[in-house]
Amino acid sequence: MNTTIKQIEEILHNAGIEEYKQETKLIIESVSDLTLEKIILGEEIKNIDKIIEIAQKRADTKAPIQHILGFAYFMGEKYIVNSDVLIPRDETEILVEESYNLIKNKNEKIDILDIGVGSGCISCSLAKKLINKEIEILAVDISLDAIKTALENADKLDLIRKIVFRKSDIYSKIRDCEKFDLIVSNPPYIPLKEKNNLQKEVGFEPEIALFANDEDGIEFYEKIIKGTPKYLKPNGYLAMEIGINQSELIKNILIENNFKDINIIKDLANIDRIITAHI
């Protein structure tokens, strides 16, 4: 094996980083601008000092590698990330795919509301997938700093025409006349009582993006679902990412609020992860 690859793997592995192989690949490929395959086939690695510096920083601080690099990949695109936004997770890609499938065949203008935009990964991915449709996405967040990052990402991906950003506490700044075909959200859903059981890396992410204050972590789902009669168009859809052990609780709230066609989709770890419903 190439000695730099081996060295980086060792630095990360010795620091107890579980995904040391994936992170080695990410660091080397992004800093040297070469694929690991090419390096293994003999191409010379550039910026070795920088690569070692980044790996050492990751090992010493345990800050998420995405924060050290300043970006994360989501659906094949690079998103700027920082301490103001949640690092986009792989599971959220399933939410994007499911949301897209719900609305892709609509021929008239499509209006989407993204609650808790964070880095902008959901809004930008939907805007990109629906690039040939007439769409408008309203992306809200309670954090102005998150909105600034989302705006930067939308600009970088040339999607700024498709997305309107607004600071709002869930629906607080949504006007009565604004109606949506799809409300999508990956709200904070970790019960606060689990704060001390999380990986050290999660502590670098904003608490406002992670935690719900109630026992089961479902306070945001209740608020989002209760607001839908006012803001969903007739036949509109709701699609949300959910946490472990929350699917039954949230399904019941959806039933109580007259939703139908409730669909629960599992992630790769076989955990109920996405819930979609139709009003």
Q: Which residues bind ligand SAM (CB under 6 A)?
A: 85-86, 88, 92, 115-119, 121-122, 140-143, 146, 169-170, 186-188, 208-209
- Identify the CA nearest to 233 among candidates 163, 155, 157, 181: 181
C-alpha span between 117 and 263 (Å, rounded): 23
Supply the minimum distance, in Å, between the C-beta of residue 140 and ligand SAM.
Answer: 6
The amino acid at residue 238 is L
Supply the minimum distance, in Å, between the C-beta of residue 35 and ligand SAM.
Answer: 26
- Report helix, strand or coil for 175: coil
Supply the minimum distance, in Å, between the C-beta of residue 79 and ligand SAM.
Answer: 9
Residues forming beta bridges with residue 258, ordered by sequence position: none
Task: Give whichever of 4 and 143 is closer to ligand SAM, judged by the CB atom.
Answer: 143
Supply the minimum distance, in Å, between the C-beta of residue 272 and ligand SAM.
Answer: 17
Task: Give whichever of 134 and 207 is closer to ligand SAM, judged by the CB atom.
Answer: 207
The number of residues making up the chain comes to 279
Long-range contacts of 261-264 (CB under 8 A, 24+ apart): 263/98
Supply the minimum distance, in Å, between the C-beta of residue 117 and ligand SAM.
Answer: 5
Task: Give whichever of 4 and 185 is closer to ligand SAM, judged by the CB atom.
Answer: 185
- CB neighbourhood size of 179 (10 A): 15
Task: Give whichever of 8 and 240 is closer to ligand SAM, judged by the CB atom.
Answer: 240
- Report helix, strand or coil for 2: coil
Task: Give whichever of 32 and 119 is closer to ligand SAM, judged by the CB atom.
Answer: 119
Supply the minimum distance, in Å, between the C-beta of residue 168 and ligand SAM.
Answer: 6
- Provide the strand spans (E) within the chain: 71-74, 77-80, 110-115, 135-141, 163-167, 180-185, 190-191, 211-212, 232-241, 260-266, 272-278
Supply the minimum distance, in Å, between the C-beta of residue 236 and ligand SAM.
Answer: 19
Task: Give whichever of 144 and 255 is closer to ligand SAM, judged by the CB atom.
Answer: 144
Q: Residue 217: is it exposed, middle or buried by C-beta count within 10 angstroms (0-12/13-18/19+)?
A: buried
- Identify the CA nearest to 41 among candidates 1, 93, 69, 4: 1
C-alpha span between 217 and 192 (Å, rounded): 8
Task: Give whichever of 187 and 227 is closer to ligand SAM, judged by the CB atom.
Answer: 187
